[in-house]
Amino acid sequence: MRRYDGDVAVVTGASSGLGRRLAVDLARRGATVVGIARRQQLLDQLAAELRAHSPESSTVACDVADADSYRAALADVESSRGKLDILVAAAAVEAETRVPGADVDDFRKTMDVNFFGVVAGTLAVVPGMLARGSGVIVNFSSDSARAPAPGGAAYASSKAAVSAFSEAVAVELADRGVRVHVLYPGWVPTPMGLQAVERGMPLPPRPVRRTEDQIADLVLERMGSPAIELNASRLPVMAPLARAFFPKAYRKSVTKNSNS
């Protein structure tokens, strides 16, 4: 099991789901973790668990959609801890955006958290990482970026933007000691994943279902490697090819699954 003793890590979306799991597991593996999220009560519970494994760990209440506050929080971590080695950007929101019916503000709100939050965090920590000659950033995307479903246009668009941004930056920084990864976690029964099912989304096929344990192990064992993509499942990687070469069958499959 890979250790992170001496590393300083920031995890956004740390109050629940995969963000919380990765924050706790990083602390268990020796990192000093700062968990960032909006919900103070959940952060208080997280802080106690983090400190049980890593006494110097802490939490900060912050909305990553507020770029100024988020940048200030990251700057404070780097200043007070002397460095920032790892940024895991797990914060995200999801809401149904069917067309017609959706409003442009629904898209803006989703992009502010899911995309511009990722951009703000990445741009804030890269200079320090480059100065030290090392660093790791893991930005959460989604298989929805590869195979968008009806009703999920805002979420899929935001995650596709995260993928493009992260891959471009990863290539730009690869030879300078900073690794940027884009994570495709498949479907995980987190609160967000379960809410989507409750809204009527069919349970994804078994080959793309994963557990929090599986995703945490994937990230913590592979981040820092030359790989840009961290794929929990290979099946969605084929979606763009299916869409290009078998468009009618692909469209029928997506429509059937979204309405089933």
What is the set of active-site residues? 141, 155, 159
* Residue 254 CB partners (closer than 8 Å, separation 6+): 147, 149, 150
Cα separation of 55 and 48, whole Å?
Answer: 9
Cα separation of 48 and 20, whole Å?
Answer: 12
* Residue 200 CB partners (closer than 8 Å, separation 6+): none
* Residue 62 CB partners (closer than 8 Å, separation 6+): 36, 37, 38, 69, 70, 73
Name the token pair of 139: 């930005």
Name the token pair of 7: 């590393």
H helices of 82-235, in order, are 104-114, 116-132, 153-173, 191-198, 212-222
CA angle, residues 109, 203, 152, in degrees to nearest 5: 25
- Give 160: exposed, middle or buried? Use CB within 10 Å, 0-12, 13-18, 19+: middle
Closest CA to 76 of 115, 32, 117, 124: 124
Cβ–Cβ under 8 Å, residues 19 and 36: no
* Residue 50 CB partners (closer than 8 Å, separation 6+): 23, 24, 27, 33, 35, 57, 58, 59
